Structure 1
Amino acid sequence: MKKTILFTCLLALSGLSTMAQSSKFTFGIKGGVNYSNLKTKDDLTNENSILGYQAGIFARVGGAGLYFQPELYLGTKGNEYTGIQTNGSITDVKGEIKFTTLDVPLLVGTSIGTSKLNLRFMGGPIISFILDEDNSLGAAYNQVSDFGNYKNQTLGLQAGAGIDLGNLTFDARYEAGLSNISKSEKYNQQQRLFHLSLGLKIL
Structure 2
Amino acid sequence: MKKVHYVGVIAMLLLFFATSASYAQAKFGIKGGVNLSNFYSGDDVSDNNLKPGFQAGLYVKAPIIEDVLFIQPELLYTRKGAQSTYSNFIQGSGKYQFGLGYAQLPVLLGVDLGIFNIHAGPYVAYLTDAKVKDVDNDGSINGVTDLNRDNFNSLDYGLSGGIGLDFEAAQIGLRYDLGLREVGASGLAGELTKNYKNSAIQLYVGFHF
Which TM-score band applies after superposition, normalised by the shorter structure? Answer: 0.7 to 0.9
Matches of 2:21 and 2:117, distance apart in 1: 21
Q: Give matches, 1:115-194, under 5 Å.
A: 118-136=115-133, 149-183=151-185, 184=191, 187-194=194-201
Q: RMSD of aligned C-alpha atoms?
A: 2.8
Matches of 2:108 and 2:203, distance apart in 1: 16
The answer to whether 1:24 aligns with 2:25 is yes
Structure 1 residue 81 displacement after superposition: 2.3
Q: Aligned AA for 1:24? A: Q
TM-score for the superposition, normalised by structure 1: 0.73
**Number of residue pairs matched?**
167
Q: Is the 8 A contact 2:183 2:193 kept in 1?
A: no
Structure 1 residue 21 displacement after superposition: 6.3
Matches of 1:44 and 1:75, distance apart in 2: 22
**Percent of aligned pairs with the same residue?**
29
The answer to whether 1:67 aligns with 2:67 is no
**In 2 relative to 1, CA 196–25 (structure 1 residues): closer, same or farther, beyond 3 Å?**
same
Matches of 2:79 and 2:172, distance apart in 1: 19
Matches of 2:179 and 2:126, distance apart in 1: 13
Matches of 2:132 and 2:193, distance apart in 1: 20
SS of 1:47's equivalent in the other structure is: coil
Q: Aligned AA for 2:69? A: L
Q: Is the 8 A contact 2:38 2:198 kept in 1?
A: yes
Q: Deviation digits for residues 49-89 of structure 1, max 9, x if unmatched?
A: 11101111000112241111100011211110248xxxxxx
Matches of 1:53 and 1:169, distance apart in 2: 17
SS of 2:43's equivalent in the other structure is: helix
SS of 1:179's equivalent in the other structure is: strand
SS of 1:196's equivalent in the other structure is: strand
Q: Aligned AA for 1:179? A: R
Matches of 2:45 and 2:39, distance apart in 1: 11
SS of 2:24's equivalent in the other structure is: coil
Quote the residue 1:76 is aligned against: 79
Q: Is the 8 A contact 1:77 1:99 kept in 2?
A: yes
Structure 1 residue 163 displacement after superposition: 0.4
Q: Runs of 4 or more off by more than 4 Å in structure 1?
A: 17-21
Q: Is the 8 A contact 1:19 1:61 kept in 2?
A: no
Q: Aligned AA for 1:25? A: A
TM-score for the superposition, normalised by structure 2: 0.71
SS of 1:46's equivalent in the other structure is: coil
Matches of 1:45 and 1:74, distance apart in 2: 27
**In 2 relative to 1, CA 31–186 (structure 1 residues): closer, same or farther, beyond 3 Å?**
closer
